[in-house]
Copies of this chain bind each other. A is one copy, B any other.
Amino acid sequence: MTRAERFPGTLPWSEERDAEGRRNIAVLLAYDGTGFLGFQRQAQTPTIQQVVEDGLERLLKHPVRITPAGRTDAGVHACGQVFNFRTGARIPTARVPAALNSVLPPTVVAQGAASVPPDFSARRSARGRVYYYLMAMAPYPSPFTRRFSWHYPWPLDVAAMNEAARALRGTHDFRSFCVDAAAQRSTVREVFWVRCRLRRDMLVTVVRANAFLRGMVRAIVGTLVDVGRGKLAPESVAGILAARDRAAAGAAAPPGGLCLARVDY
């Protein structure tokens, strides 16, 4: 597998520069979000944005502002986050991942880079995002997956969860699954795919949508778990969507099980 193949989708390669002579570079990023206060830079540290921008500044000798495809919350991981930034520095694009990794902590790792057209935005150009949510169903936690999964050793009716999941597909107002609805211009999103699948002891929930509201996947998973343990009927999802009220859906699943897996362009 070559480095180029590891970049998701087929980003349009372009060495074109903007009015200030800068290239636009997209980077594929993986991180263990444990201990980070989320992606977005804020007063408190550490955040993913802060360590990446600090690393790029050290490398390129100029201030850098990165734009991510998704602003993951505190404790949430990514194996397929994408961000872009602009630079007039001479570094060859193929060398960006190794150079950036040399100044990043081992928990945040660039996996690839591409030169993209000046108008490309990792956020606005994205057509879809895929999140995985992992639940470890074994009786006792595993020291190997404990950082990346929610340990849930109680029985769940996966068929009922998938029945409820089907009702989430399509274009809906997901206000009931959003923690900061007031800050949003629109809480309408299109969910392409939601599915729970048990692989050995790990229940993997995959959610694919055009875009996500804040807390949306964790609210979806928490609601599906309520269905799986019999607290909610699978048919109740339509009513929860219609309520347009966060209190109508289930409690948020813990952040450590969530991972931004892929961004489609």
Contact = CB atoms under 8 A, between A and B. Distances in A.
Quickly give the copy total for this chain: 2
Contacts of A106: 141, 143, 146
A174 to B, nearest CB: 28
B30 A142 contact: yes
A143 B1 contact: no
A154 interface: no
A139 B111 CA distance: 8
Contacts of A141: 101, 106, 109
A107 B142 CA distance: 8
Interface of A: 1-3, 6, 30-32, 77, 79, 97-98, 101, 106-112, 138-144, 146, 148, 201
A144 B30 contact: yes
A98 B151 CA distance: 14
B77 A144 contact: yes
Given A6-B138, A138-B1, A138-B6, A143 B109 contact: yes
B1 A201 contact: yes
21 contacts: A1-B138, A1-B139, A1-B201, A3-B139, A6-B138, A30-B143, A30-B144, A32-B143, A79-B144, A97-B139, A97-B140, A101-B140, A106-B141, A106-B143, A109-B140, A110-B140, A111-B138, A111-B139, A111-B140, A112-B139, A112-B140
The 9 closest A-B pairs by CB, nearest first: A32-B143, A107-B143, A3-B139, A111-B140, A109-B143, A30-B143, A109-B140, A31-B143, A109-B141
